[in-house]
Structure 1
Amino acid sequence: MKPSLTTETVRLDEQTKELVLIDQTKLPGEYTLLRLSKAEDIWEAIVHLRVRGAPAIGVAAAIGLYVVTDRFQTQDRGEFDQQFRAAKEYFASSRPTAVNLFWALDRMAQVVQRNPQATTDRLKTLLRDEAIAIQREDVDVCRRLGEYGLSLLQDGDGILTHCNAGQLATVKYGTALAPIHLGVQRGMHFHVYTDETRPLLQGIRLSAFEMQAAGVKTTVLCDNMASSVMQRGWVQAVLVGCDRVAANGDTANKIGTSGVAILANYYHIPFYVVAPTSTIDLTCPSGTAIPIEQRPPEEVTHMWYEASMAPAGVDVYNPAFDVTDHSLITAIVTEYGIAYPPYDKSLAALCSSSTE
C-alpha cells in the first residue's frame, strides 16, 4: 500500500477513538499504520519522527490530545482541567521548533477555556469536534497552497526540493509539494530533484517515495549535488516548506535549506517557501529568535550504518533546522495568497486577512 491522494497521513478513527498515522520511520521499505491512544506513545511518535512535518505534527497533537482526554475517568471538572493541562504541556515538550504544534494545542485549550460550565462529557465531544476541524482545515489549506504555488510554475519545469514537505508532512496534498500533486492531476509534467536531506534522509526516503507514487519523474541527489544541477540549468524553481516563519520573513526549515537558498540566489533561481499561515509567528521578530532543536549525535554517526562511521568520542553538531534569511526568499506562498518582500508588511497583511 502506497501513499496517495486518497490516503490521509494523520487521522482520527472515530470508532476506536485512536490516532492513526503512517509510521514514516519505516518508509520506503515498509508501509505501516500506527494506532495510538496513550500519551506516552503519541509523544514518542512525535519525538522520534514517526509523524513529522509541521502541519502533520499539529494535527497529530490535536487528535492525540483528544484521544487521551477522552479516556479520562473523572467526572469532576476541576480535576479534568488539571489533567488536560498536564497532557497539553506534555505534548508541547515533544519538539520545540514547529509552531504548528503549539498552535494546535492552544486551539484545543481554547475549547476548554471557552466552556467553563460544560460537563466533562460535553467537553470531550467539543474537543473531538475541534480536532476533526483542525484535520479537515489542513486538507483545505494544503489544496489552496497548491493552487497558489502552481501559479508560479510552468509545465515541464525542473523543481528542486529539500526534506519532505509533501503529503507525508500534512494530512493530504502537502505544502511545498502540493503544487506538484495538483499539477499532475491536471496533466502537467515536472522533473523533481530531491535532495537526500542528511542525516535523517527525509528526501530520499519520503519525498522520492511520494513523488514516485504520484507518477512524477524524480531524481535523487546527495545534498552536496544541488549546485551541480542548478549550474546545468536543470532547475527552474526551488520549493521548500518550513516549520516557522518569523515576522521579518526569516524561515526555519530542515537543516540544509539555507544552503540551498544561497545556491539558488547565486544561480538566479526563484526560491519559494510554501507554508500555511499557522506556521507564521508574528511574535517572533526574526530567525535569530527561533529555537533550534538539537538532535542526538547517533543520527549522524550510527543511524544508517552497521557500525559508527565516526571516530569514537568525536563531537557531533546535529541541529534539526537552520534559518534561511528573508533576503534569499523570492516569495512565501500561503493559503491566503503569495507574500513578497518586504515581508514584515506582506506577512502581517496576510495574517490579518486570515482572521477576517
Structure 2
Amino acid sequence: MNTVENRRRSLSRGIRGSAFLAGLALAVSACGTPSSAPPGQAGGDEGGEGQKVVIGIGGQTLLTYLPTTLADELGYFEEEGLDVDLQDLQGGSKALTAMIGGSTEVTSGYYEHTIQMQAKNQPVKAFVNMNLSSGLALVVSEKNKDTIKSVADLKGKNVGVTAPGSSTDMFVKYLLSQNGMEIDAAAVSAIGAGSSAVAAVEQGQVDAAIMLEPDITVLEKRIGVKPTILEDVRTPEGLQEVFGTDAWPSSSLYATEAWLEKNPETAEKLATAIRRTLEYVAEHSGEQIAAEMPETFAGGDPSQYAAVIEELKLTLSKDGVFTESGAEAVLETQRIANPEVGEAEIDLSQTYTNDFLN
C-alpha cells in the first residue's frame, strides 16, 4: 500500500462518524467558532497539476502568518503544482467560519481552533505548524497608561481583539483567569488587524488591546514612544513566563478531516511548501525576507519591517512539526479560557498530524 493510500486509510478512521454533518446549516457559537461543519468542500485530488486551493488567513499582514504569504511570493505553492488563492479575513475565527461555510478550503489560522472544534465534535485537523509562539502582547493605550498598570486593572475595561472568538480573544480570557478574575471581567471589541488595530489603540477607542507584529512596532512609531506592554509572548522568555512552556503552536494550516481525506496529495504539497518556506526564513536575514514580501506590508518603513521579521525568526518553527508537549500547552490554555472546551474530552492526536511532512 503506498503512502497516499495509507494516509487515506488512517484519516478515514477519524471521519467515518462525521458523514451525517453534510448539509447542516452554519452556526456560530458565543465564542466565535462555528458549531457545525460540513465534511469538506473539495472534490479531491483528481484535478492534478495546478489544482486550485483557497486559503483563508486570519489577518494576512500579521507576521505570525508570514510563512503563508511568503510561500506564495517565493513561488513554492506553484512549484508544488498548486494554484493557491490567499484571502485575508482579518481574524482567526472569521477564517475558520469561512472554511466551515465552504468559501475557503484550508485555513491559515491558530492551531487552538482545532481543539475548539473537537469540543463541538467537529473533525478539523492542523497539518503543518508555522510558529512556536502566539506572538501576542497586551498593549495599553496611551490615554490609560497611568490607570492600567496590571492585568487586574482591566476589570470593566474595553480590550481590543482581532475578532471575538479569535486567539487574541482567548488570550484576554486566559490572562483574566490567571489573575483571579472571571473571563468576562473585561469587555472585548473587534478591531481587526493592521491599520484598523493601530488606529483603535492610538486614538483610544479601546483601553487596551491584544496586538501582534508588525502592528505593535507601527503603533510605537505613530505615538512616538514605546507603548505600555503588560504581557508579552513574542519571545521565548515571555512565552515561558506566561504559559510555562517552550512551545505553544499557533499559526498553522488546518482543514476538515474530510478535506484531508479527499486531498492527501494537495495537503502534502501545501505542507511541503510551508516547510520549504520555514527553511528559507531560517537561512535568510530579515532584510532579505522583507524584500520578498508585498511592499504594502512594510507600512512605508522597509527597514523597520525587516528588523521586526528578524526578531520574529526566534519563534518560528524550523520544520513545521507539531510536538505533543506544545499541543498540551495549548489545550491547557483553552481549558482555562474557553468554557466550551473546559473539561470536554479532547483527543489531541485528532487535532494535528505530522503525516504530510514526510
Bigger relative CO (Cα 8 Å, ≥ 6 apart): 2
